[in-house]
């Protein structure tokens, strides 16, 4: 690996161990065994490097666990099982979700990061809507992107925060499916 790759790997280790907000240039340089000046040379800033490392980790999750199809005989059972797997991931990859929350907080004073996170949410809405509909992303209706994708992303964020804050009381996949069914019934009445 070259310095650039070493720095990305070191930044990821720092995200895992220290989080987004507490990681310093010195931490990354030490973890990657590369000079602090190399961060500026290759990435321009600590923030840019951490953002790339974080986004790569999220993409890795989305390509693997984030796309897990649930097991079960019915659509509701598969949906509940998918959520149970995601909730387990929130605990298993706690560092990733905490780093995401920290990046969101930091983005409130970083227009560039805020724009990047907003673009990521737009892409995620389409991806999630496609997964839920079982169609390719380019076949998703814009209405589904805005409605189905947005609601699912909101649910994902909320459940993630609950699982990180109080894992013993976080909803199960079955409870989420039941709650969504109850909400649909309320909206129809």
Residue 70 pLDDT > 90: no
Nearest CA to 153 among 121, 116, 131?
Answer: 121
> What average pLDDT does the structure give for the chain?
92
Quick one: pLDDT at residue 65?
A: 64
Which residue from 20, 6, 4, 170 is spatially nearest to 87, judged by alpha carbons? Answer: 170
Q: What's the average model confidence in pLDDT over 68-87?
A: 85
Scanning 44-110, the segments in alpha helix (DSSP H) are 46-63, 75-92, 94-107
Every domain of the chain and the residues it spans: 1-53, 64-188
Q: Is the pLDDT of residue 26 over 90?
A: yes
Looking at residues 123-151, what average pLDDT do you find?
92
Nearest in space to 144 (alpha carbons), one of 129, 132, 161: 129
Contacts of 72 (CB under 8 A, 6+ apart): 78, 80, 81
Give the residue-averaged pLDDT of 154-176. Answer: 94
Gap between the Cα atoms of 86 and 70, Å rounded = 10
What number does CATH give the domain 1-53? Answer: 1.10.10.60
Confidence of residue 166 (pLDDT cuts 50, 70, 90): very high
Rounded to whole angstroms, the Cα distance separating 112 from 38 reads: 22
Mean pLDDT on 110-139? 91
């Amino acid at each position: 690996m070259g310095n650039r790759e070493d720095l990305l790997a070191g930044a990821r280790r720092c995200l895992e161990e220290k989080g987004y907000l507490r990681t310093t240039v010195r931490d990354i340089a030490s973890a990657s065994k590369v000079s602090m000046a190399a961060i500026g040379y290759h990435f321009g800033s600590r923030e840019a490097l951490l953002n790339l490392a974080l986004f790569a980790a999220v993409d890795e999750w989305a390509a693997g666990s984030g796309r897990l199809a649930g097991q079960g005989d019915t659509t509701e059972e598969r949906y509940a099982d998918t959520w149970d797997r995601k909730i387990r991931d929130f605990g298993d990859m706690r560092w990733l979700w905490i780093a995401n929350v920290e990046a969101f907080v930091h983005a409130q004073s970083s227009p560039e990061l805020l724009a990047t996170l907003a673009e990521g949410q737009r892409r995620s809405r389409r991806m999630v809507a496609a997964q839920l509909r079982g169609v390719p992303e380019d076949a998703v209706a814009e209405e589904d992107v805005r409605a189905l994708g947005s609601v699912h992303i909101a649910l994902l964020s909320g459940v993630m925060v609950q699982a990180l804050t109080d894992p013993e009381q976080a909803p199960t996949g079955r409870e989420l499916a039941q709650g969504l069914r109850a909400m649909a019934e309320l909206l129809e009445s």
